[in-house]
Structure formats: structure tokens, C-alpha cells
């Protein structure tokens, strides 16, 4: 394949969708992943192929499960021998008291938000090491740094992503592979649609920029990281409008 390649997990909507479109518009072949929103993912594929005249493949599966991640990468490596960029974006949230969480709810958060990063990296890294080239970008959250009340599991999973990012960056630096993360603040995604108008207004007033971030803004920053100097690695970059 002549084009550079990127895998975007959780690409059916929100940050993942915007990021997939951003890379496709700039000449990348995009592997589009999601687990459940297949119709939305097909719409992203259609947009890439018709509006951007780009190329992409759909790789369905739950990246929080190792056996399904195995299948996803078998598909990818049947098309190309390596990824230039891996963007670990798949994520879910849970709002509620820790004591009200069930075991399965806790496991779902950790598997989707943190274990998925491990599973995808484990597959993506060997060809990158062989080529001495590659970028891994993890989509994290400001709550992984500061913690959020009633989002203990989510905060813990994103703190894990931040720690994994920093440790893996040190491990892979000798192989010229950069690992960074974006710690997103309040972004205008479906995850925040549950907020009432009053709750949204109150939250906007807490953000120095006075508004929620957009998915396109996050996609632009992810693109910049993918094209940054190789010397930039192991960073967790805040994208929060000055909130933290």
C-alpha cells in the first residue's frame, strides 16, 4: 500500500469520527473500528469515499476483548504490513457512586478504556519496531489527572492510560516510536448530551474558554501530534480550554 495507514478505534462518532475524517482528508488509508454502531461507521466510510475520495476499511470488533482485537489486526495485516499511526480512542463512561457499580460495569469501563489500549498496542508495536517508525496516540481525559466525583472508574481507567502512555514511550523511544496522549476536557460529544441545559451552562462557566471543545479541534491536535518532532514523546497533552 502506497498510502500511510492509521487505525482509529471508536471511529463511528465523536472524536473518533472527526479524527478518521481528518486523516482521510490528508491522504491516509484509514482503518475504521467500532463495536456496536455499525450503521454510523458505514456512514463514515461513505463520507471518506465520496466526499474526500479517500480509502478506508471497516474492521469491526470490541477492542476491549483480546480475541476480537486479534481478528481486527489479522484483517489489517492482510491488507498492509504495518500501521504508521495507531489512535486508541474507544471509550465509555459511567456516572454514579462507586458503591453502586456492579462488577460487570467496572470491568466494562476498564476493558474498554484501558485494556483496549494494551491489546491494540501489543499488535501494532512489533511491525513499528521492525521499521523503527510509528506513532501511538491515546485519547485520555483531564479526569485521569484530577479525578472526577461520581466518575471514579472512568477516572481510574484514564489515569491508567496516562501511566501506560508515559511508560510505553520510554520503552519504545530507542526504536524511534513516539507514544503520546491527549487529555480531553469537556468535548461536545454524545457522551455529554445527557446534560440538561442548566448543567451545560454551569459547566461552560467553569471553563476559561467559556465553551465546550469540538471534536474537530481534538482531531486537529491529534494530527499535529502525529506529525510532531520525534523528540516529543511520553506527553499527556491537555485539550481542555484551560480548565485544568
Q: Cα 66 to the chain's mean position, in Å?
A: 17
- Domain borders along the chain are 5-239
Q: CA-CA distances (angstroms) from residue 87 to 7, 90, 149?
A: 6, 9, 27
Closest to 236 measured CA to CA, from 152, 146, 140: 140
In this predicted structure, the answer to whether residue 191 has a pLDDT above a threshold of 90 is no
pTM of structure = 0.96
pLDDT in tens, 8-63: 999 999 999 999 999 999 999 999 999 999 999 999 999 999 999 999 999 999 99
Q: Which residues are catalytic?
A: 154
The whole-number average pLDDT for the span 224-242 is 97
CATH (residue range 5-239): 3.40.50.720
* Percent of the chain predicted with pLDDT > 70: 100
The larger pLDDT score, comparing residue 201 to residue 126, is at 126
Quick one: pLDDT at residue 192?
75
Distance between CA 241 and CA 244 in Å, rounded? Answer: 8
Quick one: pLDDT at residue 153?
97
Quick one: pLDDT at residue 1?
75
Closest to 33 measured CA to CA, from 51, 45, 50, 46: 45
Amino acid at each position: 500500500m502506497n498510502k500511510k495507514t492509521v487505525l482509529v478505534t471508536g471511529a463511528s462518532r465523536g472524536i473518533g469520527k472527526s479524527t478518521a475524517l481528518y486523516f482521510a482528508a490528508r491522504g491516509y488509508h484509514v482503518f475504521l473500528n467500532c463495536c456496536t454502531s455499525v450503521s454510523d461507521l458505514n456512514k463514515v466510510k461513505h463520507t471518506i469515499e465520496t466526499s474526500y475520495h479517500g480509502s478506508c476499511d471497516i474492521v469491526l470488533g470490541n477492542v476491549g476483548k483480546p480475541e476480537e482485537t486479534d481478528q481486527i489486526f489479522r484483517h489489517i495485516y492482510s491488507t498492509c504490513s504495518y500501521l504508521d499511526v495507531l489512535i486508541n480512542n474507544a471509550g465509555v463512561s459511567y456516572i454514579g457512586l462507586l458503591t453502586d457499580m456492579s462488577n460487570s460495569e467496572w470491568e466494562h469501563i476498564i476493558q474498554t478504556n484501558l485494556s483496549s489500549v494494551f491489546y491494540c498496542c501489543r499488535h501494532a508495536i512489533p511491525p513499528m519496531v521492525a521499521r523503527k517508525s510509528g506513532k501511538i496516540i491515546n485519547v485520555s481525559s483531564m479526569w485521569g489527572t484530577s479525578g472526577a466525583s461520581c466518575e471514579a472508574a472512568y477516572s481510574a481507567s484514564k489515569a491508567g492510560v496516562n501511566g501506560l502512555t508515559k511508560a510505553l514511550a520510554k520503552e519504545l523511544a530507542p526504536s524511534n516510536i513516539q507514544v503520546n496522549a491527549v487529555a480531553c476536557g469537556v468535548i461536545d460529544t454524545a457522551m455529554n448530551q445527557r446534560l440538561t441545559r442548566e448543567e451545560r451552562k454551569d459547566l461552560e462557566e467553569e471553563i476559561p474558554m467559556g465553551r465546550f471543545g469540538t471534536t474537530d479541534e481534538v482531531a486537529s491536535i491529534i494530527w499535529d501530534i502525529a506529525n510532531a518532532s520525534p523528540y516529543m514523546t511520553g506527553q499527556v497533552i491537555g485539550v481542555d480550554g484551560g480548565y485544568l
